[in-house]
């Protein structure tokens, strides 16, 4: 069932000019222009109260860098006046990993408020007091949360109804069923002496589907053993042995 209003991302940042950025072109950009989703970038600095519009201060207890002030950021969140059913996220390397499952859940909702941190982080009292859920796009540190927010929004927008050209485009991708996506091929039939695997041009859809599944399993087992460990084992064959994926790309 479609949302009664467009999916909306509200971003709190010190650099609102970074949005929509790459989200304003290609698939997401066309969907934005057609009203399938909306984005609002709000400047955290607009909630500063002193004449210098200060948003940060030195960390309590000492240490390097600066920390976003609790009073300023809390005021910025409150000023956004988002509905209570909208998730409140903080892009943070210590957060919950951004997975395709989480993306799908966010895409089904009304759209999140996303706080983009800077400096050494934000005051913990804002995280606790405003119910921010920390989300991470990977085990590395960026200069700020803006790039991470762009990644999260892009992943959500492409799943919104009407954004992708074909419904199947979103169901046969990496992570859609817990596996990495199988290899893709297209014309020319022969490239630098390497042909398209014969099975893909056989016209036998059942065999193609089986081949693609086997390829996805082999790639996942080889490249992402953490994901492969979560896939339920196949039932044993007649010999009593469980089938294991083979990493082969021929027909």
Q: Quickly state the pLDDT bin for 188 (edges 50, 70, 90).
A: very high
Q: Is the pLDDT of residue 2 over 80?
A: no
Bridge-based pairing of strands 113-116 and 88-97 is parallel
Its pTM stands at: 0.87
Q: For the segment 52-97, what is each residue's pLDDT rounded down to a tens digit?
A: 999 999 999 999 999 999 999 999 999 999 999 999 999 999 999 9
Q: Quickly state the pLDDT bin for 175 (edges 50, 70, 90).
A: confident
Q: Quickly state the pLDDT bin for 178 (edges 50, 70, 90).
A: confident
Helix (H) or strand (E) holding 148: helix 146-157
Q: What would the mean pLDDT of 4-12 be, rounded to a whole number?
A: 94
């Amino acid at each position: 069932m479609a949302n009664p209003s467009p999916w909306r991302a509200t971003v709190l940042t010190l650099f609102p000019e970074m949005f929509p950025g790459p989200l304003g072109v290609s698939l997401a950009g066309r969907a934005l222009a057609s009203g399938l989703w909306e984005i609002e970038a709000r400047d955290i600095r607009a909630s500063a109260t002193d004449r210098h519009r200060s948003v940060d201060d030195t960390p309590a207890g000492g240490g390097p860098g600066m920390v976003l002030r609790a009073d300023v950021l809390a005021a910025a969140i409150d000023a956004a006046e988002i509905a209570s059913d909208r998730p409140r996220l903080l892009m943070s390397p210590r957060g919950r990993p951004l997975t395709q499952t989480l993306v799908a859940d966010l895409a089904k909702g009304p759209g999140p408020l996303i706080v983009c941190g800077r400096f050494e982080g934000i005051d913990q009292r804002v995280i606790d007091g405003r119910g921010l859920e920390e989300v991470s796009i990977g085990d590395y540190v960026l200069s700020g949360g803006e790039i991470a927010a762009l990644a999260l929004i892009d992943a959500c927008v492409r799943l919104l109804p009407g954004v992708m050209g074909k419904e199947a485009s979103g169901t046969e991708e990496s992570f859609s069923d817990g596996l990495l996506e199988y290899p893709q091929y297209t014309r020319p039939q022969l490239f630098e002496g390497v042909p398209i695997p014969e099975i893909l041009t056989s016209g036998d859809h059942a065999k193609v589907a089986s081949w693609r599944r086997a390829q996805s399993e082999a790639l996942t087992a080889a490249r992402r053993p953490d994901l492969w460990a979560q896939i339920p084992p196949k039932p044993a064959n007649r010999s009593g042995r469980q089938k294991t994926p083979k990493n082969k790309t021929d027909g």
